[in-house]
Amino acid sequence: MWIGVGKGKGGAGCTTSALELAYAASRRRTRSGRRRRVGLLDLDPQGNATDVLEPASRSVGIKDVLAPDEPLHLRDVLVPTEWEGVLVAPADRFLANREIDLTPGRIAALRRARLEGHIADLVDDVVIDLPRDIGKIAACGLLGIEHLFIAARATVWGAQGAEEMRYTAQRVAEKGNPELRISGYIVTAYENTSDSRRILQEMKERFGSDLLMPPIPRRSRISESLESYHTACREYGAELEKVADIYQKIWDHHMEDSDDSR
């Protein structure tokens, strides 16, 4: 199963959601009883997900898969990480160059990788951390995935950003990826204020049952866990178990609706 996590505005918790969903997937087992293996493709030039996962090597990365000349195969850039069962295709600041030189032939690289099963023997699930900017790199990710989760905060700008990402995803689905569907909206860094409650209600009216509840509560220790200690929320401490449980519920519910549970 190939999923993406996107956002319309910065600070929406997209990378956190991608990491936590990858971790949630790695805790589950296939029908044969083996723990699921997950590949995280970091399409954000900031490379925050890469930093958190601490890959065994950064000599190659996702930028090399998207290179216009002599590109590498996706399987050749997936490397082990400190998180058990999670591989990563690393990102670095040079990935931003692909926004300029990404050719029409390479923009569908991840779509071909999924359809042709290039890494099906290496991972059971793929999670893509989509970039903030809606450009060629984001389009490459959207063309590759089957399911999209949109991360947004319960703010006016956050709701607007979610709407923009929904529109972009729908256009990509119409033009080049008919398998793509929006699987849900994840509300992150939620603070139980009157303004947040009002906007959350507006988001419920706008997105309906696709708005995933409950929202992820705002916790300073989430960034402490991931950014400082490079540790998934569940492994950091009891204070973040509720956060981890919400992400696990999202993954498990999504798996129930998915045909891909080998």
For residue 33, count other CB atoms closer than 10 A to its CB: 6
The confidence score (pLDDT) of residue 7 equals 82
The confidence score (pLDDT) of residue 47 equals 95
Nearest to 150 by CA among 183, 127, 190, 110: 183
Structure-block tokens of residue 210: 């696709």
The confidence score (pLDDT) of residue 106 equals 92
CB of 191 within 8 A of CB of 123?
no
Nearest to 198 by CA among 242, 154, 158: 154
Q: Is the whole-model pTM more than 0.75?
A: yes
Structure-block tokens of residue 173: 């689905």
Domains plus CATH for the chain? 2-256 (3.40.50.300)
Buried/exposed 86-122: b ≥16 CB within 10 Å, e otherwise: bbbbbbbeebbebeeebeeebbbbbbebbeeebbeee
pLDDT in tens, the chain (262 residues): 999 999 866 677 899 999 999 999 999 998 899 999 999 999 999 999 999 999 999 999 999 999 999 999 999 999 999 999 999 999 999 999 999 999 988 999 999 999 999 999 999 999 999 998 889 999 999 999 999 999 999 999 999 999 999 999 999 999 999 999 999 999 999 999 999 999 999 999 999 999 999 999 999 999 999 999 999 999 998 999 999 999 999 999 987 766 555 5
